[in-house]
Amino acid sequence: MNKPAFTARFNQGDRVAMAVSYDGRAFHGWQSQRKPQVATVQEALEQALGHIANAPISVQCAGRTDAGVHASHQIVHFDSPCERDEKAWVSGGNTHLPPQVAIHWAKPVANDFHARFSATARRYRYIILNTPARSALLSGGVTWENRPLDVQAMHQAGQALLGELDFTSYRAVACQSNTPMRNVHFLKVSRCADMVVIDIEANAFLYHMVRNIAGVLIAIGAGIKPVTWAEEVLLAKDRTVAGVTAPPSGLYLVGVTYPESFQLPSSGSGPFFLAGF
């Protein structure tokens, strides 16, 4: 097995970009709540990196995920308070992390890089196990749907959501974004054996947007609603007409896009059990 080549070295004050994956079942979302009894991914990562730096570290992420939502390729950045090499941040950081969180790489970036504001797109995958019986092994890692799903109908319905549109009907009532406008670059629904995969990329997402889209597409795939319903919900600009919010267990942040000038490694497709798909 080839050992990872850790070549980068960081000086004090250097900005560090990092790729992280996590199993959201163990956490109350990404964002730190500064409460000892509430575990969050951000707090776990900051504590681990703080051990390596022997100093407090505050990280910024590309997209804050909710409780129970996973990530195979979350991007974060922080400013190094000390001189360390890449191996220290990656291998050393992982030794201080819980098993549900892993650092994959750390790279030096320009000081104007920002994990959130420099991103031009985010990509999520919503994974549905479409079998008559639930899986004990994948519990919490996918959403289970025992009704047969028509993948072609789901994909066709999703094409009405492409482009820069008003997603009022697809955001949570508690969403605090100043605008409901988002630009969806692609939305694909396909089947991989017993898995139905909703693959969606946009410039950014509203609170619960992907899960609300998944809820609508599942209803269409199950034959409860017609293909046209996804567009009807969109045009209504009313959250109450959209139906249920799909569970968080099937949702993965799988990629973040940045300008090529930052030269960050590609994300792959994720999550790991759909590698190559």
- What CATH architecture does domain 121-252 belong to? 2-Layer Sandwich (3.30)
- Confirm whether 66 is a catalytic residue: yes
Specify the pLDDT at position 1. 43
User: What residues does 122 pair with on adjacent strands?
Assistant: 202, 256
CA distance between the termini of the chain: 24
Specify the pLDDT at position 212. 97
Specify the pLDDT at position 276. 66
Specify the pLDDT at position 269. 77
- CA separation for the pair 68, 29 (Å, rounded): 7
Specify the pLDDT at position 34. 74
CATH classification code of 9-118 = 3.30.70.580
pTM, full prediction:
0.94
- CA separation for the pair 156, 158 (Å, rounded): 5
Do domains 9-118 and 121-252 share one topology? The answer is: yes
> Strands 163-166, 181-192: parallel, antiparallel or unpaired by DSSP?
antiparallel
* Cβ-proximal residues to 258 (8 Å cutoff; 6+ apart), any chain: 75, 113, 118, 119, 120, 264
Q: What is the DSSP letter of 63?
A: S
- Domain spans in the chain, listed from the N-terminal domain onward: 9-118, 121-252
14, 23, 66, 150: which is the annotated catalytic residue? 66
* Cβ-proximal residues to 259 (8 Å cutoff; 6+ apart), any chain: 118, 120
Q: Could you read off the pLDDT tens digit of each residue along the chain, which spans 277 residues?
A: 455 567 778 888 899 999 999 999 999 999 988 776 789 999 999 999 999 999 999 999 999 999 999 999 999 999 999 999 999 999 999 999 999 999 999 999 999 999 999 999 999 999 999 999 999 999 999 999 999 999 999 999 999 999 999 999 999 999 989 999 999 999 999 999 999 999 999 999 999 999 999 999 999 999 999 999 999 999 999 999 988 999 999 999 999 999 999 999 987 777 877 766 7
